[in-house]
Structure 1
């Protein structure tokens, strides 16, 4: 399928892994108004498809995942145009963040500003060793506005996030990994391959279990422990009496691969 500047490709024997391919190579996937529209549409399509069990976000450009906001486009914006674009950009980033299944970012090359925020909106971030990441917004008079101030702080803690945001510096994949901002560093050019591998492993597990585990983790993250445990119990009940649970237990005892009903 094609959604303008973001292609949707399916992988695996049953197509349970969806890949969102950022495909604006002439601009290194800079997020223009049109690109934001495309990413929002693609995430809505994937989120509404119950056959999708895992998602990979990748790029067609070998040297850039996404370089952030399209500053060439914004250079001509009036204040009113910038305000009008804001909800579209927010919907694009939130579309990735709110996907109900696990999402893996495959980052090779530059992931800067909004591009790094797309990656941070994913559950796992795999970087090729030549990748360069950063949130340089304060160097051009703005702040990270695609979730970066919140998502990065939750990933790495206050002081490490402060270093990355306040200095506006770029970091190598290994430096970002050492800070806890990315999850895995692989040989250059292989991030997509590794991300698809991880997504395939995820897609082999119970779709009901995985979705409910993600929901429990996301909903419970910013609550106190007691509230988090109540959320976990709610999601446990939604899973424990599902057809997936019955199939998983039966397959374990029969020593065979589960055939997940997905309900």
Structure 2
């Protein structure tokens, strides 16, 4: 795709299992635990949290794409082998670490896109749901099968899924623990864009580049209005929108954007 951003080779590794690759103003957040199909271990959760904190504070990042190095899986969820060896006390102690990883993705202040192929199950699908947009290829298989192993979705799935597909559909998917293949996932709204096998990363990066061409101040303010307004009564949501509008209305980005429009040129945003 012509508008896929160029990789700058300015990569940074967080622990053993997470890498951030830079493509100018787009950051690629890479799950890199291929031997375990990117199952989220305690160490991986810490690394993901650290990477998200670094990205959140980087004003030069205008969009983030969440990708995977495994050719048959985006992420298969929690590392059940690790959890099987934990005592109850250890499992309880691990819980805040796991929550921080999922919240880290959810709270990224810039637009986020998940590039999904193969299995995205349980916590893996919850990582995708934490993103603003999900691009999937034709090999994708998604679902929240936690009740089949005696737990429930604990990475935000019970709250994020109903917001995507409605309460009744979310209940059916969670209670049945079923896996949903790509065509049905697109039909149900579990993913937002469906592409050919192997094209998910490129398509997501191209979408991120289109996002990143816009005002960085505007992008963050728009996301804040969208996310904060989710669960609010309509009028309260309008107040959130108005507050976000006020943060951009008198910013240098608005002045530059209006000037560029009137001068018929591409805006020159400040990083």
TM-score by length of 2: 0.94
- Write the distance in 2 (CA, Å) between the matches of 1:117 and 1:221: 17
- Write the distance in 1 (CA, Å) between the matches of 2:29 and 2:89: 30
Partner residue of 2:163 out of 131, 144, 154? 154
Q: 1:261: how far off?
A: 2.0
- Write the distance in 2 (CA, Å) between the matches of 1:258 and 1:70: 45
Equivalent residue, structure 2, for 1:32? 41
Q: Unmatched 5+ residue regions in structure 1? A: none
Give secondary structure in 2 for the equivalent of 1:87.
helix
Equivalent residue, structure 1, for 2:21? 9
- Write the distance in 2 (CA, Å) between the matches of 1:133 and 1:226: 35
Query: How many residues matched?
Result: 259
- Write the distance in 2 (CA, Å) between the matches of 1:61 and 1:228: 40
- Write the distance in 1 (CA, Å) between the matches of 2:170 and 2:31: 26
Q: 1:179: how far off?
A: 1.0
Deviations 1:61-106 (A, max 9, x none): 0100000000011111110010010000000000000000000000
Deviations 1:163-209 (A, max 9, x none): 11000010001111111111011001110000000100000000111
Which contiguous aligned blocks of 4+ residues in structure 1 show a shift greater than 6 angstroms? none
Equivalent residue, structure 2, for 1:56? 65
- Write the distance in 1 (CA, Å) between the matches of 2:140 and 2:226: 28
In the alignment, does 2:225 pair up with 1:213?
no
Give secondary structure in 2 for the equivalent of 1:65.
strand
- Write the distance in 2 (CA, Å) between the matches of 1:185 and 1:208: 29
Equivalent residue, structure 1, for 2:98? 89
Equivalent residue, structure 1, for 2:5? none
Give secondary structure in 2 for the equivalent of 1:56.
strand
Give secondary structure in 1 for the equivalent of 2:64.
strand
In the alignment, does 2:259 pair up with 1:250?
yes
Q: Unmatched 5+ residue regions in structure 2? A: 1-11
- Further displaced range: 197-206 or 228-237: 228-237
